[in-house]
Amino acid sequence: MYAFAAPFQHPAGSPIRELFKYLGEPGMISFAGGYPASDLFDVTGLEAATTRAYQTPARCLQYGPTDGLPELKRELIALMSRRGARCTSDELLVTTGSQQGLDLLLRVLVSPGEVVLTEQPAYPATLQALRLGQAEVMTIPVDSEGLDVKKLAALLESGAVRQPKLLYTVPTFANPSGATLSLARRIALLELAVRFGLLIIEDDPYSDLRFAGDVVPSMLALSDEVPGSRDWIVHFASLSKIAAPGLRVGWMIAPPEVARRCIIAKQTVDLCSSPWTQAIAAEYLADGALERHLPRITGIYGSKCDALCDALHAEFGDAIAFHRPQGGMFVWARMGALSSSTLLAHAIDNKVVFVPGKAFFADNVDDATLRLSFAAPSPDAIRDGVRRLKHAYERALRARRAAPAKSS
Ligand code: PMP
């Protein structure tokens, strides 16, 4: 009846949000969402920041500048400097979650039919945004050290791909792979960016959630070491995973020419991100509350990650393959014997959910993969959840063995 625009004629919704209907079921253990643990929110610190922000009601209640409240921008520049990366105010744009940054950037840079490269497996909301933007998506595989930069180099050198507009990657504690791009690969990727004029999108919501291993500088920080590469980096960051997603405070750092156009795009999207939550975020950061909060949550996420990895080893042994992440929220696993979509149906009956791997593929789906998030459940619930998963796995294998016998 309605003449919808091409990308909305047969749109697919988020495959992860599809699973949300099961989460409300009593007794369900969820490894599905990429949500931070609700019981780890810094309720008192954020309440105090809210009170301080509201001492100047007009700055909370009025419209604000499209690129963000100046006091928040100052705090974010200071936060980036603690993370080892410099940036100026005209490079930084506050966004309504980092998700908005990606949307703005695609509006500004990518026309329908243009080639965009992304790591695979990839964050599904990025794949969805690329689909809606009608980009031609090409994928580069990820292994335990992150994006396979050699394969990217070979692809670019072969000339088999039309000039890609950009490459999307989550180099640190990736969603979903949990992998962290090694230092050597980061440098090689920056060199490729300069050589081929390839814009690298570094999506970095998780790097502060490190609970093991040594810090690896962001691509943005490392761009100071590779001449010319600063022009080829756009960096997204967010308070969602480290403070609270309800703030909807993210930010992007981009070359000024790009940032300026993203600000113009944002004017038609939401005029400005909520000045109220920006003021809260500014107060929270100015007080040093984030620095006090991070060690607490990373310690707990570390023990949850151990609980999950140890339980998977104990219950599944060689039947499962995965790498233990050094931070973030996700374990990416592969069960050679079974499709994870089949496993999910049995898992839901056993009151445990996860995200089947196919949600993270743009092509060449590996249906034996799955993403398990350890952030939200308690360590005891995690161990219980893995036991349920094992029962589901055994039932799924039995059902498969029984099926051909019935039909013969
Ligand atoms: N990028 C990645 C890799 C994510 O996992 C998420 C959240 N799941 C986002 C971006 C979006 O975060 P935000 O809440 O800042 O929009």
DSSP output for 188-223: HHHHHHHHHT-EEEEE-SSTT-B-SS-----HHHHG
| pLDDT over 50 at 194, yes or no | yes
Ligand 1, residues at Cβ distance < 6 Å? 34, 97-99, 123, 170, 175, 203, 205, 238, 240, 245, 250
The closest-lying atom of ligand 1 relative to the alpha carbon of residue 170 is: 3
pLDDT above 70 (res 405):
no
For 223-250, what is the mean pLDDT?
Answer: 98
Q: What's the CA gap between 154 and 143, in Å, rounded?
A: 16
Mean pLDDT of 314-338: 95
Radius of gyration of the chain (CA): 22
- What is the Å distance from ligand 1's center to 314 Cα? 31
Which of 41, 14, 394, 376 is closest to 240 using CA atoms? 41
Do you know the residue count of the chain? 408
Atom of ligand 1 nearest to the CA of 240: 14
pTM above 0.85, yes or no: yes
Write down the mean pLDDT value for the chain: 95
- For domain 43-290, the CATH class is alpha beta
Taking the mean position of all CA atoms in its chain, how far away is CA 204? 7
Q: How far is the CA of 171 from the centre of ligand 1 (A)?
A: 13
**Whose CA is closest to atom 3 on ligand 1?**
175
Closest C-alpha to 304, from 14, 17, 6, 37: 37
Measured CA to CA, the distance from residue 362 to residue 343 in angstroms comes to: 21
CA dist list (Å): 363 to 127, 138, 359, 372: 11, 8, 10, 21
Q: How far apart are CA 329 and CA 317, in angstroms?
A: 22
> Would the CATH topology of 6-42+293-400 be identical to that of 43-290?
no
178 contacts: CB under 8 Å, gap ≥ 6: 323, 325, 328, 330, 331, 332
Mutate to test the pocket of ligand 1, among 100, 120, 204, 241 (most ligand atoms within 8 A of CB): 241
Residue-level pLDDT at 397: 93
Give me the mean pLDDT over the 127-139 stretch.
Answer: 95
Å from CA of 311 to ligand 1 middle: 27
Q: Which of 19-33, 189-203, 266-280 has the lowest mean pLDDT?
A: 19-33
Q: List the domain boundaries for the chain.
A: 6-42+293-400, 43-290
Residue 317 predicted with pLDDT over 50: yes
Q: What is the mean pLDDT of residues 385-403?
A: 93
Distance from residue 227's CA to the centre of ligand 1 (Å): 29
State which of 98, 105, 206, 332 you would mutate to test the pocket of ligand 1, scoring each by most atoms of that ligand within 8 A of its C-beta.
98
**Pairwise CA distance, residues 89 & 284, whole Å:** 20
- Are the CB atoms for 346 and 393 separated by under 8 Å? yes
- The pairing of strands 249-253 and 233-238 is antiparallel
Residues 6+ apart with CB under 8 A from 138: 115, 116, 117, 118, 155, 161, 164
Q: What is the model's pLDDT at position 408? A: 43
pLDDT at 83 over 50: yes
Residue 407's pLDDT band (cuts 50, 70, 90): very low
Both structure tokens of 368: 């034996």
pLDDT at 404: 64
In the three-class reduction of DSSP (H, G, I as helix; E, B as strand; rest coil), residue 228 is classed as: coil
Q: Which residues contact 257 (CB under 8 A, 6 or more apart)?
A: none
User: What is the four-CA torsion angle of 139, 144, 146, 152, rounded to 10 degrees?
Assistant: -50
Tell me the backbone φ, ψ of residue 406, rounded to 5 degrees: -65, -40
Instruction: Tell me which of 3.30.70.260, 3.90.1150.10, 3.20.20.140, 3.40.1080.20 is the CATH number of domain 6-42+293-400.
Output: 3.90.1150.10
What pLDDT band is residue 160 in, cutting at 50, 70 and 90?
A: confident
Give the residue-averaged pLDDT of 358-380: 96
Q: What is the whole-number distance in angstroms between the Cα of residue 100 and the centre of ligand 1?
A: 9
Q: Are 240 and 250 in contact (CB under 8 A)?
A: yes
Q: For residue range 239-260, list pLDDT tens digits in order.
A: 999 999 999 999 999 999 999 9
Residue 155 contacts residue 175 (beta carbons within 8 Å): no
Q: How confident is the model at residue 400 (pLDDT cuts 50, 70, 90)?
A: confident
